[in-house]
Amino acid sequence: MANASEMELMLNGYGLTTARILYHYPDHPHLLQTYVWQEYDLAPKFPALLAFIDFWREKLEGPLHSVSYTHRRLIAPNEWRNVGGEFLLN
């Protein structure tokens, strides 16, 4: 969702996805390097993560070895409630 706030994304079912990407170091293919990627994404299809993996394969050096991920919805629409209030400070 372009230009959506984090709260809007969470209310629309997005959760925080963190991926640990292991890839072969371009100059020394026998060595592995780690890259950590984090973005709001939709489970179970993970369009943002899959788009990033496609981008990596097409544009970046260093062949992918493996991708492991975790996903957590931080808030669901039924968990959100609007609370209004005011703090009076002296």
Q: How far apart are CA 82 and CA 11, in angstroms?
A: 12
Residue 34 is assigned to a structural domain of this protein: yes
> Token match 């070895």: residue?
65
Which residue range(s) make up the domain with 34? 6-74
The type of residue at 76 is A
Report pLDDT for 74.
74
Q: How far apart are CA 43 and CA 47, in angstroms?
A: 8
Counting the structural domains of the chain, the total is 1
Q: Quick: pLDDT tens for 46-83.
A: 999 999 999 999 999 999 999 999 998 876 656 655 55
Q: Quick: pLDDT tens for 20-29.
A: 999 999 999 9
17: confidence class by pLDDT, cuts 50, 70, 90: very high
Tell me: cis bond preceding 47? Omega within 30 of 0 counts.
no
Residue 38 is assigned to a structural domain of this protein: yes
The answer to whether 36 and 49 are in contact (CB under 8 A) is no
Residue 87 is assigned to a structural domain of this protein: no
Residue 82 is assigned to a structural domain of this protein: no
**What SS3 class is residue 85?**
coil
Residue 43 is assigned to a structural domain of this protein: yes
* DSSP string for residues in 38-62: EEEE-TTT-HHHHHHHHHHHHH-SS
Q: How far apart are CA 72 and CA 67, in angstroms?
A: 17
